Chain A
Amino acid sequence: GAGVSQTPSNKVTEKGKYVELRCDPISGHTALYWYRQSLGQGPEFLIYFQGTGAADDSGLPNDRFFAVRPEGSVSTLKIQRTERGDSAVYLCASSPTSGGADTQYFGPGTRLTVL
């Protein structure tokens, strides 16, 4: 079946601009996660949704970052007033439920470059 998909695969923007990154989870998965992976590092947690609500947003670095999942499926990560330090690969993952033992399945990521 179809895995997690993310669009765009690459995004280049200028400092100060607004960007939106999209994630389509595996069909039927109720939990959705966003992570950020900087060069040479492991993924770092940003936010997790159970259904439509953000169950844990403790990883969002500041109030320029926001994410939504209005219908409990597709999610959008929004970054305002982008900075060069936001450059990274943004990974989305989904799991069947929010149960701790569930495997998180990752998408291919969106590479964001802020010039």
Chain B
Amino acid sequence: AQSVAQPEDQVNVAEGNPLTVKCTYSVSGNPYLFWYVQYPNRGLQFLLKYITGDNLVKGSYGFEAEFNKSQTSFHLKKPSALVSDSALYFCAVREAGATNKLIFGTGTLLAVQP
């Protein structure tokens, strides 16, 4: 069965510092991996995805994520956090060729202090 784990309910970081939001996954075959961000009372906004190819994926708003097959991880990173990055972040996976539905983690609340 497919699953996603986001081990941290909340991540706190000071503005200007680098941030990492962790995600690990479990699928039987090859994964397609996604990161979404959710601001209060709004829907999910797509940030980036890994399908194949280069393990380092760059996305919107300066975010990037690194696919690590051996560790089954897809951590979200940003070199310098902004207060406006404060939001709820969701990692999601779908198994290539198996299903079209996304399996989401429980989310990580990112709080960037000024």
Which positions in A face B, CB cutoff 8 Å? Answer: 4, 31, 33, 35, 40-45, 48, 55-56, 58-59, 91, 93, 98, 100-101, 103-109
Contacts and interface: CB of A to CB of B under 8 A. Distances in A.
Contact of A107 (B43, B102, B107): B43
Given A33-B100, A43-B104, A104-B46, 4 more contacts: A42-B92, A43-B90, A101-B51, A106-B46
Contact of A106 (B43, B94, B103, B107): B43
A48 B101 contact: yes
Chief secondary structure at chain A's binding surface = loop
B104 A56 contact: no
Contact of B107 (A42, A45, A56, A91): A42
A42 B105 contact: yes
B6 to A, nearest CB: 8
Given A98-B100, A100-B100, A103-B34, A41 B106 contact: yes
A115 B45 CA distance: 30
B22 interface: no
B99 interface: yes
A59 B100 CA distance: 12
B14 interface: no
A100 B46 contact: no
Contacts of A48: 100-101
A44 B49 contact: no
Nearest to B36: A106
Contact of A40 (B96, B100, B103, B106): B106
B104 A42 contact: yes
Given A48-B100, A106-B43, A107-B43, A100 B94 contact: yes
A33 to B, nearest CB: 7
Nearest to B50: A101
